[in-house]
Amino acid sequence: MSDNGVGTTGSGLDRLASVNLNLLVPLLALLEERSVTRAAERVGLSQPAMSHALSRMRRLLGDDLVVRQGNSVALTPRAMELITPLRATLQQAAAVVDFPGFDPATDRRVITIALTTSTAFVLGARLGRLVAERAPNATLRLRTITVPTESTFTEHGVDVVLVSEAFSSPHPRERLYDDRCVVVASADTPPEQSALELLTTQPHVVVDTERRVFPYSVLDEKGVPYRVGQLVSDFLLVPYLVGRAGGVALLRFRVAAEMRTLVELRIEELPFRLPGLGIDMVWNPHLGDHRFIAWLRQLLFDAARP
C-alpha cells in the first residue's frame, strides 16, 4: 500500500513482470527493417529465433505487426504507432543502464544512409572504404531513394538522409557538399564548339520523369533552343549513354566527374549561372547516440571531400 492509500498491485508496471522485455529490442529491429532476415542480422539472432520472437510478439500485442503484401512486407497500423514510442523507450533504457559510448573499433551496428542513386555513385565507394577502415565490425547499408517522403527520415533504421537542397525536409539540415550543374558531352564532339553550341546542336539525353528536370526549365526561360534525342528512366544512364552513344546532357558536376573515370566524357561549364545543387545531411530525429552521430558526420565529410 502506498502512502496515499492507493495500492500498486495490478498496475501497468507490475504487469511488466510477466512480460519478456527482451522481446522489445528485436521488435524495434523488425519494425524498422520490415524484414525478419535483416532484423535477425541486426540483433544477432538466427532467422528461426527471430521468427519465434515474432510469434511471441504477436501474441503479446494481439496484432500481426507485419503482413505480406505481394513480394514485400508492410506494417500494420498498430505496428506503425509503436515505432516512435518504442524507440524512445529503448533509448531511455540504454541511458539508465549507461552502456559505454559508441566505439567504432568494436561496434557491430548496421549504419544506414538513405540517398539517391546518383549521390551513392559519388560517395558510395568512399563511404564503404572509410567504414571498413574506421569501423571494421560495422555494416554499411546504402538505402537508395528517389524523392524523399516524411517517413524516409525516420523509418527502415535510417541514421541519416542525404538529400538535395531542392527537396524539403521536416527536420534540420546541414550542408555536406556543394555541387553545380555542368554540360556533359561525348568526347568526340567538335572541340571548337562552345557549351552553348553543344546545347543547341547536339541531341539531349534527358531523364524521363513527370517532374520537370530543373536545368531545362532554366533553358526554357532563357530561350535556349534544344532537341531531346533520348529519354531514360535511370539518372545514372544519362552520362553513360552520352559518353558511349553521343549527345549532350545537363548533369551534376560531381556525378559527371565520377562517371568520367569509367567512360570518356567532355565536361563544360554552363554559359550562365544556375542556383546551387548542394547535398544536405538530415539526421533521424530519434537518433540519440550523439557520439555515433559525431563520428558518422565526420566520416561523411571525409567521404565528400573532393
Contact 156, 74 (CB under 8 A): no
Question: What is residue 9's predicted lDDT score, i.e. its pLDDT?
Answer: 47
Handedness of CA 61, 51, 72, 27 (dihedral sign): positive
- What is the SS3 assignment for 182? strand
65 and 89, same domain (yes or no): yes
Please state the pTM of the whole predicted model: 0.69
φ, ψ for residue 69, nearest 5 deg: -130, 95
263 and 186, same domain (yes or no): yes
173 and 289, same domain (yes or no): yes
One digit per residue, pLDDT tens: the chain, 306 residues?
Answer: 344 444 444 456 666 666 777 888 888 888 888 888 888 888 888 888 888 888 888 888 888 888 888 777 788 889 888 888 888 888 777 666 655 678 999 998 889 999 999 999 999 999 999 999 999 999 999 999 887 877 788 777 889 999 988 888 888 899 999 999 999 999 999 999 999 999 999 999 998 877 666 788 888 888 899 999 999 988 889 999 999 999 999 999 999 999 999 999 999 998 888 877 899 999 988 787 888 999 999 999 999 998
- Residue 238's domain is classified under what CATH number? 3.40.190.10
φ, ψ for residue 283, nearest 5 deg: -85, 145
87 and 235, same domain (yes or no): no
**H or E segment to which residue 133 belongs:** helix 117-134
Q: Could you list the residue range(s) of the whole structural domain that residue 258 is in?
A: 181-269
φ, ψ for residue 111, nearest 5 deg: -90, 115
Is 93 within a domain? Answer: yes
Question: What is residue 17's predicted lDDT score, i.e. its pLDDT?
Answer: 66
Is 217 within a domain? Answer: yes
Q: Which of 257, 216, 263 is nearest to 243 (CA)?
A: 263
Kindly tell me the burial class for residue 9, based on how many C-beta atoms sit within 10 Å of its own C-beta (0-12, 13-18, 19 or more): exposed
> Beta strand pairing status for 228-232 and 248-252?
unpaired
- Residue 33's domain is classified under what CATH number? 1.10.10.10
Q: How many domains does the chain fold into? A: 3
Domain boundary among 97, 121, 139: 97
Is 102 within a domain? Answer: no
Question: What is residue 229's predicted lDDT score, i.e. its pLDDT?
Answer: 93
Using CA atoms, how far apart are residues 77 and 64, in angstroms rounded to an integer?
10
Domain boundary among 51, 68, 97: 97
